[in-house]
């Protein structure tokens, strides 16, 4: 089986770009759930904990198409669930994602024989939450369907957008730096990343580690595009204290301060937004386009981090993008230290025109010595090319997936 070899059926992209699921295009053969543990080059530390391997759940979707001469042709697509090993960023975690996939998501998709990306969300609507697990299935079917039709993911997602979007061929790269052991280590890492060509840096902050690192980086690189991400860690302080401490970041020209307070504290973020000069961005709080509308309505943020996994899929991410464009709210594409499988899809998403701030979009080699898909290279101008091939648009390294896999199960069993 190839990723798209042999006779190619035509994928009907209507003017909206929505593939017609009802036409006789492909049928679902099944899914493989692949657990991988991919070693990181260096441990990743944030307020959501530290890990040295990327334990991910991958989904391989297999579709069968009838070729021109009636011969059956199987095509596979890959998706990645960005949940972390433990429930520390959100309630989802990798083993839980596998469990909900086996008990609920796979049976629902098989029962309805969902063979196209547009059918995934309706088929899974009866399962509450588990957005990251759902995203892996949506992404895998999207990849398979687009590979079969010879369509680039960026073009497909652009076609889904109400904004009449022209997608970009490259996106501004950004690098996130985990919590460092010392100021010296942090400055060394920022220097290294700038030498590599990154033009935007996101620092992790938490109470007790904020003004000093942000101030030191800003002093050394006055023109650098700088973000700070608190992962909700100021939520444990009384509001007055959090506001006072974070107001000390006001003079450092941060493009945004991300998720200072708890996931569900929209009122607190709105109050903080009134008290701070730095624009607030939300991440963990925004689990649906509706949540984005609520946050914007109460003034809880003026910048939005879009992560397909958090929102429940790439189609929801496009909806979130569209409503932010309509509200003139700048967005950027978040990352979860994913392998190249999710990062290729994120590059396609970030090619939509509302993504006007550089995201967590770093090149192959940033996190892993051996990645599962790619390469996606950083160019001298600090951008990464949007993959140009069909579907994910970059080769998936089956050998590396086998090497790092800890379990593989095929469904239907």
Active-site positions read: 204, 307
If one asks whether residue 362 binds ligand NPG (CB under 6 A), the answer comes out as yes
Q: Which is nearer to ligand NPG, 273 or 336 (CB)?
A: 336
What is d(CA 271, CA 298) in angstroms, rounded to the nearest whole number? 9
Q: How far is the CB of 335 from ligand NPG (least distance, A)?
A: 3
If one asks whether residue 335 binds ligand NPG (CB under 6 A), the answer comes out as yes
Among 25, 94, 98, 231, binds ligand NPG (CB under 6 A): 231
Structural contact between residues 73 and 6, judged by C-beta atoms closer than 8 angstroms: yes
If one asks whether residue 176 binds ligand NPG (CB under 6 A), the answer comes out as yes
Structural contact between residues 217 and 186, judged by C-beta atoms closer than 8 angstroms: yes
If one asks whether residue 46 binds ligand NPG (CB under 6 A), the answer comes out as yes
Region of 4-12, 185-193, 334-342, 398-406 interacting with ligand NPG (CB under 6 A): 334-342
Total chain residues near ligand NPG (CB under 6 A): 14
Among 138, 229, 265, 371, binds ligand NPG (CB under 6 A): 229
Q: How far is the CB of 19 from ligand NPG (least distance, A)?
A: 29
Residue nearest to ligand NPG (CB): 335
DSSP type of residue 119:
G
Q: How far is the CB of 100 from ligand NPG (least distance, A)?
A: 20
What is d(CA 34, CA 27) in angstroms, rounded to the nearest whole number? 21
Q: How far is the CB of 185 from ligand NPG (least distance, A)?
A: 17
What is d(CA 363, CA 176) in angstroms, rounded to the nearest whole number? 12
Hey, how many other C-beta atoms are within 10 angstroms of the C-beta on 307?
26
Site string for ligand NPG, 125-164 (x = CB under 6 A): ----------------------------------------
If one asks whether residue 360 binds ligand NPG (CB under 6 A), the answer comes out as yes
The β-bridge relationship of strands 256-258 and 280-282 is parallel
If one asks whether residue 255 binds ligand NPG (CB under 6 A), the answer comes out as no
Structural contact between residues 134 and 109, judged by C-beta atoms closer than 8 angstroms: no
Q: Which two tokens stand for residue 270?
A: 């709105």
If one asks whether residue 336 binds ligand NPG (CB under 6 A), the answer comes out as yes
The rounded Cα 217 to chain-centroid distance in angstroms is 26
Site string for ligand NPG, 47-86 (x = CB under 6 A): -x-----------------------------------x--
What is d(CA 167, CA 354) in angstroms, rounded to the nearest whole number? 10
CA distances 357 to 130, 200, 255, Å, are 28, 9, 9
Beta-bridged to residue 19, according to DSSP, are: 13
Q: Which of positions 261-300 make contact with ligand NPG (CB under 6 A)?
A: 283
In order, the DSSP letters of 221-250 are: -TT-EEEEE-TTGGGGS-HHHHHHHHHTTG
Hey, how many other C-beta atoms are within 10 angstroms of the C-beta on 354?
25
**Sign of torsion over alpha carbons 312, 11, 387, 170:** negative
If one asks whether residue 337 binds ligand NPG (CB under 6 A), the answer comes out as yes
Q: Which is nearer to ligand NPG, 335 or 382 (CB)?
A: 335
Q: Which is nearer to ligand NPG, 272 or 361 (CB)?
A: 361
If one asks whether residue 260 binds ligand NPG (CB under 6 A), the answer comes out as no
Among 334, 340, 354, 393, binds ligand NPG (CB under 6 A): 334
Cis geometry, peptide bond prior to residue 412 (ω within 30 degrees of 0): yes
* Chain residues in the site for ligand NPG (CB under 6 A): 46, 48, 84, 89, 176, 229, 231, 283, 334-337, 360, 362
């Amino acid at each position: 089986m190839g990723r798209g070899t042999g006779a190619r059926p035509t994928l009907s992209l209507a003017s909206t770009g929505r593939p017609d699921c009802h036409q006789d295009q492909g049928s679902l053969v099944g899914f493989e759930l692949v657990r991988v543990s991919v070693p990181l080059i260096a441990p990743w530390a944030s307020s959501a904990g530290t890990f040295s391997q990327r334990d991910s759940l991958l989904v391989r979707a297999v579709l069968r198409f009838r070729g021109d001469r009636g011969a059956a042709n199987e095509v596979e697509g890959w998706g990645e669930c960005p949940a972390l090993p433990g429930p520390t960023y959100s309630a989802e975690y990798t083993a839980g994602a596998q469990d909900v996939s086996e008990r609920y998501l796979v049976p629902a998709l098989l029962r309805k024989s969902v063979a196209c990306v547009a059918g995934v969300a309706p088929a899974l609507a009866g399962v509450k939450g588990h957005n990251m697990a759902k995203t892996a299935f949506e992404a895998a079917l999207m990849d398979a369907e687009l590979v079969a039709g010879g369509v680039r993911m960026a073009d497909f997602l652009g076609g889904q957008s109400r904004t009449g979007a022209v997608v970009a061929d490259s996106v501004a790269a950004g690098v996130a730096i985990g919590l460092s052991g010392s100021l010296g280590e942090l400055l060394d890492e920022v220097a290294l990343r700038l030498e590599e060509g990154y033009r935007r840096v996101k620092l992790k902050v938490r109470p007790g580690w904020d003004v000093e690192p942000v101030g030191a980086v800003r002093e050394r690189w006055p023109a650098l595009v700088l973000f700070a991400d608190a992962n909700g860690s100021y939520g444990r302080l009384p509001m007055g204290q959090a506001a006072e401490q974070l107001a000390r970041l006001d003079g450092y020209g941060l493009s945004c301060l991300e998720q200072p307070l708890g996931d569900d504290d929209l009122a607190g973020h709105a109050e903080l937004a009134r008290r701070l000069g730095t624009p607030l961005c939300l991440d963990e709080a925004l689990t649906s386009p509706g949540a984005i509308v609520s946050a914007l309505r109460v003034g809880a943020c003026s910048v939005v981090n879009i992560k397909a996994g958090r929102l429940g899929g790439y189609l929801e991410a496009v909806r979130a993008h569209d409503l932010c464009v309509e509200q003139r709210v700048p967005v950027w594409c978040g990352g979860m230290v994913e392998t190249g499988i999710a990062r290729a899809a994120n590059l396609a998403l970030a090619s939509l025109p509302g993504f006007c701030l550089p995201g967590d979009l770093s090149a192959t080699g940033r996190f892993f010595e051996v990645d599962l898909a790619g390469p996606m290279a950083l160019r001298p101008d600090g951008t990464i090319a949007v993959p140009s091939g069909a579907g994910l648009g970059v080769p998936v390294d089956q050998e590396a997936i086998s090497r790092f896999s800890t379990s593989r199960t095929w469904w239907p069993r």
